[in-house]
Amino acid sequence: MLGRLGRWIDERAHLSELWQSQMVDYKVPKNLTFPYAFGIMALVAFAIQVISGIFLTMYYQPDVNKAFDSVNYTIMKEVPFMWLIRQVHAAGANFFLAVVYLHIFTGIYYNAYKKPRELTWIVGWLIYFVLLTTALTGYLLPWGQLSYWGMVVTAEIPTSIDSAPIIGKLKIGETISLWMKGGYEIGQITLGRFFGLHIWLLPLILLLLVGIHLYLVRAAGISNPEGREIDKKKEGVPFHPYITLKEGAYVMGYLAVFFFFVFFHMSHFLPADNYDPADPFKTPAHIAPEWYLLAYYTIFRSIPDKFLGFVAFNLSLLFLLLLPFLDFSPLKSARNRPLFFVMFVVLVISSMALTVLGTMPPTPTNAILGLLFTGGLFAFFLSLPLISIIEWGWYKARGGEKR
């Protein structure tokens, strides 16, 4: 009966043909390494956020008087199992960003941003940027002390444009800050627009971008850890069942780690200070953004001039976007590029160190360390054109043969 129903649908919808052409006949390199699974993990994390988020909107109230209680009483104590949904959503946001970071670094390591995949990289960068905004807007919603004061500090950052020599007179920064807050202070209007952005606009944009990203991955083909394009007719293994099963097993492992944190280690994802309701008259001792923004925050804060700091952290984002054009070497994948590999290690260590420095108090030593690692971060991006020129030389000397 069920089989007949399936055949009836299939004769009309041609789903098995779609499956055959898109999943089985789709060939991918056999040697995909473990880091390639971060992409599918990010997709799973996104799905988890959407589903848990839908349930949270059923009980959350975007009202400055009710937001804190709706989260900490209604959701955490009153409605059965909503504590689990909230913990999944809170830990999920952190895991989503962590996996996206790992995915980005994997892409950099295997040079997955190079021709013909520049557009995949650019769309991926847009996803990352929208994701950061989504995380930022969502962080305000519980209306705790950290939510409130974190946003006070974040909304102050654009005003550093106003300390620039000439354009500072235009007060662009203040205008941006006012747009973010919807007024001169963070209140009901801020909460309302952040709620709307967080549950509707930004996730829809994300959904669209993720769709385009996936299409582009399929259109250009998956990259190869060896850095050469495979001949899809002769080599390569079927995507299903080879990759689906392999990465399916990895996803199970990922979810196991994720649920370990959800059930047994929430202290970082639901920090103690955020159980204190937002109070505009009480400034907490340590205000720092969430960990996924700390690297930019450290860049911003360790440069003595406010405007230059602002420029520097925006420049690091811009360089990330322009990566495919900074690195024009004919060689692909860090496996074939010793110079690139060294600079990649510099990048990894610098960005990790910048993040950790962001959690520490701003002492003079830390400021110098911050400057040092900011230098390391920019050294990676600025060394790429140089490395590319050197590698063009090697490539030509070998007679231009592909590796």
Partner 1 sequence: MIKTVFFTAISLIFFYIIWINNFFAHKEKYEMPAQYARIAEDVKSYAREGKQLFEQNCQACHSVRYDSVYISAVQANPKLKTLQEKYGKVLPKDVYEGVFNEDLMALKESFGKVPPDLSTIYLVKGKEYLFNFTLEPQKVLPGTSMPAVMTGRPEETAKIVAYLKSVSEPTPEEKSKRVLMGIGTIAYLVVMGILIWLWKGKILKRMGLH
Binds partner 1 by CB under 8 A, chosen from 349, 386, 389, 390: 349
Listed ranges 64-72, 110-118, 162-170, 178-186: which one lies at the site for partner 1 (CB under 8 A): 64-72
Alpha-carbon distance of 301 to 136, in angstroms, equals: 19
Instruction: Say if CB 116 and CB 220 are below 8 A apart.
Output: yes
Cβ proximity to partner 1, 26 vs 250, nearer residue: 250
**CB closer to partner 1 out of 11 and 235:** 235
Quick one: which segment of 13-21, 196-204, 218-226, 270-278 binds partner 1 (CB under 8 A)?
A: 270-278
Question: What's the CA gap between 88 and 266, in Å, rounded?
Answer: 10
Residue 273: helix, strand or coil by DSSP?
helix
Asked if 356 interacts with partner 1 (CB under 8 A), we say: yes
In 157-239, which residue ranges form alpha helices assigned H by DSSP?
Answer: 172-181, 188-196, 202-220
Q: Among 10, 69, 174, 229, which residue sits at the site for partner 1 (rule: CB under 8 A)?
A: 69
**Least distance (Å) between residue 191 CB and partner 1:** 14
Distances, alpha carbon 327 to alpha carbons 77, 115, 332, 339, 383, in Å:
53, 11, 10, 12, 9
The set of residues, in sequence order, having a beta carbon less than 8 Å from that of 113 and lying 6+ positions away, is 107, 120, 121, 323, 324, 327
Distance CA 136, CA 309 (A): 20
Of 358, 231, 368, whose CA–CA distance to 291 is shortest?
Answer: 358
Shortest Cβ 166–partner 1 spacing (Å): 39
For position 276 contacting partner 1 by CB under 8 A, the verdict is yes
Alpha-carbon gap, residue 304 to 312, rounded angstroms: 11
Contact pattern for partner 1 over residues 283 through 312, marking x by CB under 8 A:
---x----x---------------------
DSSP 277: B
Torsion angles phi and psi, residue 167, rounded to 5: -65, -15
> Binding residue for partner 1 (CB under 8 A) from 147, 329, 355, 374?
355
Asked if 72 is part of the footprint of partner 1 (rule: CB under 8 A), the reply reads yes
Among 7, 218, 232, 265, binds partner 1 (CB under 8 A): 265
Stretch 86-145 residues interacting with partner 1 (CB under 8 A): 94, 98, 102
Structure-block tokens of residue 3: 């089989």
Per CB under 8 A, the list member of 59, 129, 259, 395 interacting with partner 1 is: 259
Question: Measured between alpha carbons, how far is 102 from 92 in angstroms, rounded to an integer?
Answer: 15
**Tokens encoding 394:** 């090697």
Phi, psi for residue 144 in degrees, rounded to 5: -95, 180
Compute how many residues bind partner 1; rule: CB under 8 A: 48
Q: One symbol per residue from 219 to 258: x for binding partner 1 (CB under 8 A), - otherwise; what is it? A: ------------------x---xx--xx-xxx-xx-xx--
**Residue 352 binds partner 1, judged by CB under 8 A:** yes
10 Å CB burial of residue 397 (0-12, 13-18, 19+) is exposed
Considering only the stretches 122-130, 162-170, 227-235, 359-367, report the one whose residues sit in contact with partner 1 under the rule CB under 8 A: 359-367
Chain positions 195 to 224 lying near partner 1, rule: CB under 8 A, are none
Please identify, among the stretches 72-80, 132-140, 147-155, 320-328, the one whose residues bind partner 1 according to the rule CB under 8 A: 72-80
Spatial contact of 300 and 313, defined as CB atoms under 8 Å apart = yes
Which residues are at the interface with partner 1 (CB under 8 A)? 30, 65-66, 68-69, 72-73, 77, 83-84, 94, 98, 102, 237, 241-242, 245-246, 248-250, 252-253, 255-256, 259-265, 268, 272-273, 275-277, 286, 291, 348-349, 352, 355-356, 359-361
